[in-house]
Amino acid sequence: MLRTVFKAIGATLVVLATLLGCQVIRHSDNRPLPAPSAETLRIATYNVHYIILGRENGAWSVGDWDRRKIPLDQAFKAVAADVIAFQEMESFARGDASEVNLKLDWLLSRNPGYAAAATGDPAEFPSTQPILYRSDRLDLLDQGWFFFSNTPDVIYSRTYDGSYPAFASWAQFRDQDTGQAFRVINVHTDYASRSNRVQSVKLVTDRIRPWIASGETLFVVGDINARIGDPVIDILAETGLSFAPVEGATYHFNRGINLFGAIDHIASVGDAALAGPPIVLRQKFNGEWPTDHYPVVADYRMGVGK
């Protein structure tokens, strides 16, 4: 009897392992990233996980950051984006506002051709979702933020159910050569609460509708913690946003394990059209994972509606 039970358990484990392996393979496509072109605008989004300043060793500690800092810079250079929006670019100590941002300072020091938007004095501007841009191509016109909260214009206000603050940052740019302006809205929704996610994206739609109505070109990007087909995505798409068809995993458990489809997205509306399929850069750099998400990259042709 026991032998029969053990055989059944073993057979079940084999089936589960096979299904898991098929699921990982299905979400692990690794197409090469084409070289950037002056004829297109490269938009990217990247969740880079916060650093815990009070932790010297272990996962996401300062010591862990020392191991990941060169790989992160290599990933940043490989993406070669004109605009890249970051989530969780935070050096976390205590409280909401911190003057320290190790990852932002590191990337800016290693990449002098870039400047940071959607950042400022942490007492007045939440700086954990900066948007880096090529300063030799783009000019920064404006920037702002709003929190996913019943008081969205109160900095560091708690989310709808009272959990940790979450927000959208945004920046408006102008192309120096063409004069075309566009706006990037950088979103990171609550991974744990579906109710928070739904209310958050509804607020995003409320904020972007006037910009869309005025004829602006917008990109809504970030870690939305929802897959294509989820009502959370549908709420955003109802504004006219078109989501780049990102295939496969964008979150990998800090292990390169690709179990489910994309939760990091790039969407656009206005005078912008995809120049090719979006790319998820699924690789280690210098033998390490820079973070627990992959960068998502999409090239756009601008001015298509003119």
Which residues 6+ apart lie within 8 Å of 166 measured at CB? 147, 148, 159, 188, 189, 190, 196, 200
Task: Return the structure tokens found at 58.
Answer: 């272990």
DSSP secondary structure code for residue 82 in this structure? S
Which residues 6+ apart lie within 8 Å of 165 measured at CB? 96, 126, 147, 149, 156, 157, 158, 159
Average pLDDT for consecutive 10-residue bins of the chain (306 residues)? 54 44 71 94 98 95 97 98 98 80 98 98 95 98 98 97 96 97 98 97 98 98 98 98 98 97 98 98 97 98 78
Cα–Cα distance between 289 and 173 in angstroms, integer? 31
Distances (CA, A) of 284 to 19, 59, 79, 195: 25, 17, 13, 34
Contact 225, 192 (CB under 8 A): no
pLDDT at 8: 55
Which residues 6+ apart lie within 8 Å of 63 measured at CB? 56, 57
pLDDT at 21: 53
Q: Output the pTM of the full model.
A: 0.92
Contact 65, 51 (CB under 8 A): yes
pLDDT at 95: 66
pLDDT at 126: 95
3-state secondary structure of 85: strand
**pLDDT tens profile 227-266:** 999 999 999 999 999 999 999 999 999 999 999 999 999 9
pLDDT at 15: 37
Residue 142, H or E segment: strand 138-147
pLDDT at 9: 57
pLDDT at 18: 47
pLDDT at 11: 54
pLDDT at 293: 98
pLDDT at 251: 98
Using a 10 angstrom Cβ sphere, with 0-12 exposed, 13-18 middle and 19 or more buried, the burial of residue 38 is: exposed
pLDDT at 14: 43
